[in-house]
Amino acid sequence: MDELDSAIVQALQRDARQTNRDLARQLGIAPSTCLERVRLLRARGVIRGYHAEIDPAALNRKVEAFVSIRLRPLNRDVIDRFKAALIELPEVIAVYVLAGDEDLLAHVTARDLDHLHAFLIDRLSRPREVVTFRSQIVFQSAQKRVRERLPGE
Amino acid sequence: MDELDSAIVQALQRDARQTNRDLARQLGIAPSTCLERVRLLRARGVIRGYHAEIDPAALNRKVEAFVSIRLRPLNRDVIDRFKAALIELPEVIAVYVLAGDEDLLAHVTARDLDHLHAFLIDRLSRPREVVTFRSQIVFQSAQKRVRERLPGE
DNA sequence: ACCTGTGCCGAACACTGTTCGCCATCGTCG
DNA sequence: CGACGATGGCGAACAGTGTTCGGCACAGGT
């Protein structure tokens, strides 16, 4: 994982569909070299995949929220089961198991407020393991597409 | 945005680097047709870009956390400025402006716990606008790479 | 000085992206 | 009801691309 690898990783985070030749040109190396590097990065698991980023509105998702959930009893089985069940729901785009007063955090997108409300009532009010949940609507957001490498030592 | 477009969008979320011909074959249409569809989806802004997914460990990020922040005075200027400042920091991968008791939610990744601690103290304890912040370490996470289209009406 | 391994390069070839003209389909309007 | 324009899909063709492979330079070890 030298400087060249980092540069490749950064470039592919910005645009995963650029041609191997463009990538090579931009880094000042031969296409064959570049290809081999990229293949190794994939094989090593550094590059996990390539994904298209889609406008949420085009997927009919205009409302975004974070839902903090408190589970009881808090054992491994309940956590794993509930996490797996949540991530399967179409409205849920991410689930985090946390340290702190709340146990789970679900990142949710819904069609509108009514849909979000229905989701909360149907999916979180019913299960007995959920003792409390708290929803925070997202007004604005800013995401980073390309993450640099943090200085190691 | 018909069924075919949805299928294209889904396939490209799964793997953004598959060849246009494979994509076309998989959908049962001609490569030229497929290409035109994809171009229109990009032009319409449905497809926003293609990004490589990178293993956080390879970027030296072993600790992940959500930090809830309370700002005062809570006016547009303070929010915009602070949000913009946060997203510029290398440790911050996303910032959300929320409705609820907390105003901002920052998604953070750090090298280790010490690094996270330093980040919190240096970046959040100092500014006067921050009246409170609360950190929640992430133990586990599950993300969805491909989001389906929610039924519209 | 001599290996040996590693990583990069450039040529070669099959395959791909991309363009373009043609055709079928469908809705519109005379 | 028929003519017609618009729309969208198709397949052939060509430039450009991914991918392989043999060779080469350089470094470290013996």
Which string of DSSP letters, residue by residue, matches A73-139? S--HHHHHHHHHHHHHSTTEEEEEEESSS-SEEEEEEESSHHHHHHHIIIIIIS-TTEEEEEEEEEE
Record: contact A150-B17, CB cut-off 8 A = no
Record: contact A144-B53, CB cut-off 8 A = no
User: Residues A95, B141: contact at Cβ < 8 Å?
Assistant: yes
Give me the residue from A13, A105, A147 closest to B66, CB to CB: A105
Question: Residue B21 CA to nucleotide C13 C1', Å?
Answer: 19
- Summarised one tens digit per residue, pLDDT across range A38-77 is 999 999 999 999 999 999 999 999 999 999 999 999 999 9
The distance of B20 to chain A (nearest Cα, Å) reads 11
Q: Looking at residue B153, what is its pLDDT?
A: 63
Model confidence at A81, in pLDDT bands (50, 70, 90)?
Answer: very high
Q: Which has the closest alpha carbon to B18: A47, A51, A23?
A: A51
Task: State the average pLDDT for chain A.
Answer: 96
- Summarised one tens digit per residue, pLDDT across range B36-73 is 999 999 999 999 999 999 999 999 999 999 999 999 99
Record: contact A52-B53, CB cut-off 8 A = no
Give pTM, 2 decimals. Answer: 0.93
Check whether B124 has a pLDDT greater than 70: yes
Residues of chain A in contact with residue B16, where contact means CB-CB under 8 angstroms, are 16-17, 50-52
- The answer to whether the Cα torsion of A60, A66, A71, A74 is positive or negative is positive
Residues of chain A in contact with residue B84, where contact means CB-CB under 8 angstroms, are 142
Q: Which uninterrupted H or E stretch holds B82?
A: helix B76-88
* B34 Cβ contact list (under 8 Å, min separation 6): B8, B20, B23, B24, B27
Chain C nucleotides near the protein (CB, 7 A): 7-11, 15-21
Q: How far is CA A20 from CA A9, A26, A36, A100, in A?
A: 13, 10, 10, 45
Domains of chain B: 3-43 (1.10.10.10), 56-138 (3.30.70.920)
